[in-house]
């Protein structure tokens, strides 16, 4: 039996994935967490085979949580399941030690296949994402300005593009508003832009996600 932990800050998303998996023979959802910190804490006290991890959540977020779980619990395998499908995010996630990367738009059977393959010791990256990653390595000119951002800057970038304000971000990340603004201005300088609206437009222009994606849940 493959045991699975669901980590996503949206209850409806977790419920949907649980419904997909509950009828699959040989796979069992053992628990759910709604933030990265709780997922790390749970994994350090319990055993699970696979963690289905969301990227953008309150607190440390999926990327940092992946790093911590891989470091503290190397036997646990992580599959990132997120709306963010364009580099540099998939590459950073795989470099952090994840074993799989899927879009939330993936078909239910692909999620099941990914869980089974990763549990068997293989890596699984959705074919369209893998192709983008391969092309980005072959074609240096395909790199995006977001490659220059740190992990924290990427996390704040994703929160801003979801419409979250500085005070909300500071509360969720346990940072002062001044610190969040410092990250924002550093990000704006690296990307040569002047504000949150330009940041969102730049992300869409470079294919990090599209305007329809932004209107949905992450």
Mean pLDDT is lowest, of 34-43, 64-73, 81-90, 182-191, for 81-90
Q: Is 47 exposed, middle or buried (0-12, 13-18, 19+ CB in 10 A)?
A: exposed
Where do runs of H (alpha helix) occur along 139-176? 151-161, 166-173
Please state, as a whole number, how many other Cβ atoms lie within 10 Å of the Cβ of residue 206: 15
| CA geometry: angle 55, 160, 197, nearest 5 deg | 135
Q: Is the pLDDT of residue 77 over 70?
A: yes
The answer to whether 199 and 188 are in contact (CB under 8 A) is yes
pLDDT band at 143 (very low <50, low <70, confident <90, very high): low
* Contacts made by residues 129-138, CB under 8 angstroms, sequence distance 24+: 129/85, 129/90, 129/101, 129/102, 129/103, 132/85, 132/86, 132/87, 132/90, 133/87, 133/90, 133/91, 133/94, 136/87, 136/91
pLDDT band at 127 (very low <50, low <70, confident <90, very high): confident
pLDDT band at 134 (very low <50, low <70, confident <90, very high): low
The set of residues, in sequence order, having a beta carbon less than 8 Å from that of 165 and lying 6+ positions away, is: none
What digits encode the pLDDT tens for the residues 177-200? 999 999 999 999 998 998 888 888
Structural domains of the chain, ranges and CATH numbers in brackets: 2-137 (3.40.50.2300), 144-214 (1.10.10.10)
Q: What is the token pair recorded at 188?
A: 């704006």
Q: What is the token pair recorded at 73?
A: 């619990």
The set of residues, in sequence order, having a beta carbon less than 8 Å from that of 2 and lying 6+ positions away, is: 26, 27, 28, 49, 50, 115, 116, 119
Cα torsion angle, 85, 87, 92, 97, sign: positive
What digits encode the pLDDT tens for the residues 150-177? 878 888 888 888 788 999 888 878 889 9
Count the alpha carbons within 13 Å of 42 in the hemisphere toward its beta carbon: 21
How far apart are alpha carbons 2 and 116 in whole angstroms?
Answer: 8
């Amino acid at each position: 039996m493959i045991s699975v932990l669901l980590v996503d800050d949206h209850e409806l998303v977790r419920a949907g994935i649980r419904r997909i998996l509950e009828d699959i023979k040989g796979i069992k959802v053992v628990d759910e967490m709604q933030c990265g910190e709780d997922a790390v804490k749970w994994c350090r006290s319990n055993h699970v085979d696979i963690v289905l991890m969301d990227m953008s959540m309150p607190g440390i977020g999926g990327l940092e949580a992946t790093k911590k779980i891989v470091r503290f619990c190397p036997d646990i395998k992580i599959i990132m399941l997120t709306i963010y499908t364009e580099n540099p995010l998939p590459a950073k996630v795989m470099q952090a030690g994840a074993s799989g990367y899927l879009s939330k738009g993936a078909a239910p059977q692909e999620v099941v296949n990914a869980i089974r393959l990763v549990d068997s010791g293989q890596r699984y990256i959705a074919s369209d994402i893998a192709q983008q990653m391969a092309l980005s390595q072959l074609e240096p000119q395909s790199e995006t300005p977001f490659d220059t951002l740190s992990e924290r800057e990427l996390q704040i970038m994703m929160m801003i593009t979801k419409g979250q304000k500085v005070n909300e971000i500071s509360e969720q990340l346990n940072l002062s508003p001044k610190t969040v603004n410092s990250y924002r201005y550093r990000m704006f300088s690296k990307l040569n832009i002047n504000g949150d609206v330009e940041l969102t437009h730049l992300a869409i222009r470079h294919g990090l996600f599209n305007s329809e994606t932004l209107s949905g849940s992450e």
